[in-house]
Amino acid sequence: MKIIVCVKQVPDTAATMTVENGVISWGDAPLIINPWDEYAVEAALNLVADHGGDVTALCLGKEEETEAIKHALAMGADAAVMVSDPALKGVDNLSASKVLAAAIEKIGDADLVLFGQQSVDTDTGLLPVQVARVLGWPSLTLVSKIENVAADDGNIQVLRSMEEGGQVVDAPLPAVMSVTKDYGEPRYPSFMGIRKASKAEYPVWSLGDLGIEAPTSAVSWPEVMEPEEKEIITEIIPGDTPEEKAQNLVEKLIAEKVL
């Protein structure tokens, strides 16, 4: 199987974010691979371990921001491609999806394109669906388990996990899939993988290389602001026993009309 995993670098989740004059800053905190994407890389690596093939990490971003790609390579991805072009600064999701789809077509012969279920910075979770739409491939979102891959008849069966329950879905390959963290813990990069990744060379494609024009974004962020500070009052619910504390808590919640 040829699998492409789309990865993105984001500010470290432990970083303190601030907004000043409409510009978001995370200080000197490092960029990391979007934590959700690690699950997608894990799924891709397991699929090729079981069915053969190779994994390519694909990243859209600034050329010098290599963290996501290098992390995927250190986990075990075989190759990587970076798409970087000054014209892509601030593009919206739909535009990004067109660029990614063009890159996926240029890489060629993919059976599966994997995403994390969302990114921790913009949190839209839209790209997997949009890329599937642009490519005209089935979209399998929120996948927590890959039930079966029948390479001979070109089908995949997955379990989608939603709040309401699970759903087993069949789709023909090639397909686009987003992976949830219920899939299972991603592996750490191995030391050998780290060495390999640090030396890895990969192509950096511009929009010209992809043969597409700079897409026009329909969505922009005219203003970015920090959320208003909320005053939080902490109250310790009294009681001599856990039962009494629970009783007092319930009464309090009813009195506050929470229940």
Site of interaction with another protein (CB under 8 A): 30, 32, 66, 70-71, 74, 188-192, 194-195, 197-198
With a CB cutoff of 8 Å and minimum separation 6, the contacts of 22 are 223, 224, 225
Nearer CB in complex with another protein: 152/229: 229
Q: Minimum CB separation from another protein for residue 187, in Å?
A: 9
Q: Minimum CB separation from another protein for residue 199, in Å?
A: 9
Map tokens 């969505």 to a residue.
219
Nearer CB in complex with another protein: 106/187: 187
Q: Minimum CB separation from another protein for residue 67, in Å?
A: 9
Q: What residue ranges in the chain does DSSP mark as E strands?
A: 2-7, 9-11, 18-20, 23-25, 31-33, 54-60, 79-83, 112-116, 139-150, 155-162, 165-172, 175-179, 204-205
Q: Which amino acid is at 59?
A: C
Q: Minimum CB separation from another protein for residue 220, in Å?
A: 33
Nearer CB in complex with another protein: 33/171: 33
Helix axes 127-135, 93-107, angle to 10 degrees: 50
Q: What is the largest CA-CA distance in the chain?
A: 72
CB atoms within 10 A of CB 118: 20
The CA dihedral of 160, 165, 168, 172, to the nearest 10 degrees, is: -40
Q: Minimum CB separation from another protein for residue 71, in Å?
A: 7
Nearer CB in complex with another protein: 167/190: 190
Q: Minimum CB separation from another protein for residue 230, in Å?
A: 15
Are 141 and 128 spatial neighbours (Cβ–Cβ below 8 Å)? yes
Task: Give the chain's radius of gyration (CA, Å).
Answer: 22
Nearer CB in complex with another protein: 124/198: 198
Are 7 and 35 spatial neighbours (Cβ–Cβ below 8 Å)? no
Nearer CB in complex with another protein: 167/198: 198
